[in-house]
Amino acid sequence: MADLSQISLLGLDRSELASLVDGLPEPPYRAKQLLEAVYRQRVESVEQISTLPQQLRLKLTEKGISIGLPRIEKRFVSQDGTVRYLIALADGQTVETVWMPEGDGGEAGDGSEAGEVAERYAESLTTAESRTLPEGNDPTPAPKRGTTPHRRTQGQNQGRSTICISSQVGCAVDCQFCLTALLGVKRNLTAGEIVGQVCAVLKDQNVSPPEDRINLVFMGMGEPFLNYDNFVKAVRLLVEEVGIAERRMTVSTAGIVPRIHDFGAEAIRPKLAISLNASNDALRTRLMPLNKKWNLEMLMAAAKAYPLRTREWITFEYVLLGGVNDGPENAKEVAELLRGMRCKVNLIALNPGPGIDFSTPDTERVAMFQKILREAGIPAFVRRPRGRDIYAACGQLKRTVEIATAPAP
Ligand code: SAH
């Protein structure tokens, strides 16, 4: 049996928990109680696991076994309901996690497209409260009166809330428009820390899957495919223990080509998004230096070989930088690159930030880019920036906190 000192239960899967319980020694059913307490009830401390006898709680504590739920250090609430969290890990490092509540017009940043909104609406009809069609064209049930974006009653979440989670402290990929890149990479997150972000936010928002339909996007700090094993383990725990369906998750990669191949072979896998961000190699290498190692030809070959499931598509993200990659000629090149693929494009106007030497394009240019893609037969969506007033976008939270310009919590 491994050294039990300083063990966090969060991050352990069924078999690891079974062997921990076995080594205590305790009967096997205790493992199930621990799983339930950690991933479903999301208790904060071992002392709070009410299903265990007091003596066993003491024994666990004495052995240095803790839950390992990360602590919410700061919380900022945006006017649009977005909540960004600065989450503190056991070693004092912090990452950001963002909660985006329902009602963003069908583009929750989760790789879903407008068609899925109808599907979600159909799902929502199974609850008695939402049987009346809301006014207008938006098939989203109106939020229940009296609920605030923060703190709700379980079961009220009708399927559009998304949690954006981090996979690393900082990032090594060095994309020139990204604030996280400015931090460099400090370390990988453990599977427990990845799952822990979700558990901490679910607890804070008082929502609980699967009754509350939660989408997850691995689009926070870090490159998930450079922390592949922990990411894959976290996904498995999120699906099997926390209860979030894999089709409600999207992982975004900057284009770590060998891992795209590996990912396609995983039995449990979220939907795939690829950060394209440029329409030709020269431009992409300038914006994303990793393109020197894995160029567009390699990236597109991996995307084309990717084994899509029924009703699945690849999402390409394209951050539009004013006057740099947002011209009609770029849109035409993108259309050419993606021709014939089962995919869609999410266009994201740059979220500017300190230390970022690019500008946000005009709305007309964004619309023009979208139009060219659509005319070429490629579904293209413009993603609405969320939580701009609280710097919730893309690495801005930690960065802005670090340079001490953050608003008061
Ligand atoms: N490393 C992964 C996931 C994190 S970044 C990846 O690169 O995909 C998530 C998305 O945010 C990426 O599509 C990235 O291109 C985009 N992004 C990064 N910085 C941005 C900024 N300043 N404005 C808008 N989008 C940005």
pLDDT score for 109: 41
pLDDT score for 157: 56
pLDDT score for 182: 87
For residue 319 and ligand 1, the question of a CB distance below 6 A is answered with yes
| pLDDT bucket at 224, cuts 50 / 70 / 90 | very high
Pick 40 or 137 by higher pLDDT.
40
Expressed in angstroms and rounded, the spacing between residue 403 Cα and the centre of ligand 1 is 20
For residue 161 and ligand 1, the question of a CB distance below 6 A is answered with no
Strands 271-275 and 343-349: unpaired
**Which residue, judged by its Cα, is nearest atom 11 of ligand 1?**
394
pLDDT score for 398: 57
**Which residue, judged by its Cα, is nearest atom 18 of ligand 1?**
178
For residue 98 and ligand 1, the question of a CB distance below 6 A is answered with no
Task: Report residue 113 as tokens.
Answer: 């497209």
pLDDT score for 121: 32
Q: Report residue 125 CA to chain centroid gap.
A: 26
For residue 251 and ligand 1, the question of a CB distance below 6 A is answered with no
Count of other CB atoms within 10 angstroms of residue 388: 16
Buried/exposed code over 234-259 (b: 16+ C-beta within 10 A; e: otherwise): bbbbbbebbebebbbbbbbbbbbbeb
C-alpha to C-alpha distance for 360 and 368, rounded to whole angstroms: 14
The pick from 167, 168, 178 for probing ligand 1's pocket by mutation, whose C-beta has the most ligand atoms within 8 angstroms, reads 178
Weakest mean pLDDT among 118-127, 259-268, 352-361: 118-127
Amino acid letter for position 144: K
The candidate with the shortest Cα–Cα distance to 166, out of 132, 200, 133, is 200
| pLDDT bucket at 120, cuts 50 / 70 / 90 | very low
Count of residues in the chain: 409
| pLDDT bucket at 143, cuts 50 / 70 / 90 | very low
C-alpha to C-alpha distance for 245 and 263, rounded to whole angstroms: 17
Strand partners, 316: 274, 345
96 is catalytic: yes
pLDDT score for 323: 97
For residue 166 and ligand 1, the question of a CB distance below 6 A is answered with no
Weakest mean pLDDT among 59-63, 139-143, 146-150, 174-178: 139-143
Residue-wise DSSP of 377-389: T--EEEEPP--GG
Of 171, 199, 343, 394, the catalytic one is 394
Expressed in angstroms and rounded, the spacing between residue 275 Cα and the centre of ligand 1 is 7
The pick from 252, 321, 325, 381 for probing ligand 1's pocket by mutation, whose C-beta has the most ligand atoms within 8 angstroms, reads 252
pLDDT score for 92: 93
Contact 371, 298 (CB under 8 A): no
For residue 89 and ligand 1, the question of a CB distance below 6 A is answered with no
What does the pLDDT look like over 367-401, one tens digit per residue?
999 999 999 999 999 987 776 666 665 556 555 44
Expressed in angstroms and rounded, the spacing between residue 170 Cα and the centre of ligand 1 is 13
Task: Report residue 67 as tokens.
Answer: 């839950």
Expressed in angstroms and rounded, the spacing between residue 3 Cα and the centre of ligand 1 is 39
pLDDT score for 134: 30
**Which residue, judged by its Cα, is nearest atom 4 of ligand 1?**
219
Element (H, E) at 203: helix 191-205
For residue 178 and ligand 1, the question of a CB distance below 6 A is answered with yes
Of 96, 102, 193, 223, the catalytic one is 96
For residue 202 and ligand 1, the question of a CB distance below 6 A is answered with no
44 is catalytic: no
Task: Report residue 226 as tokens.
Answer: 């450079």
The candidate with the shortest Cα–Cα distance to 266, out of 306, 218, 238, 320, is 306
Contact 393, 387 (CB under 8 A): yes
Pick 220 or 146 by higher pLDDT.
220
Contact 167, 222 (CB under 8 A): yes
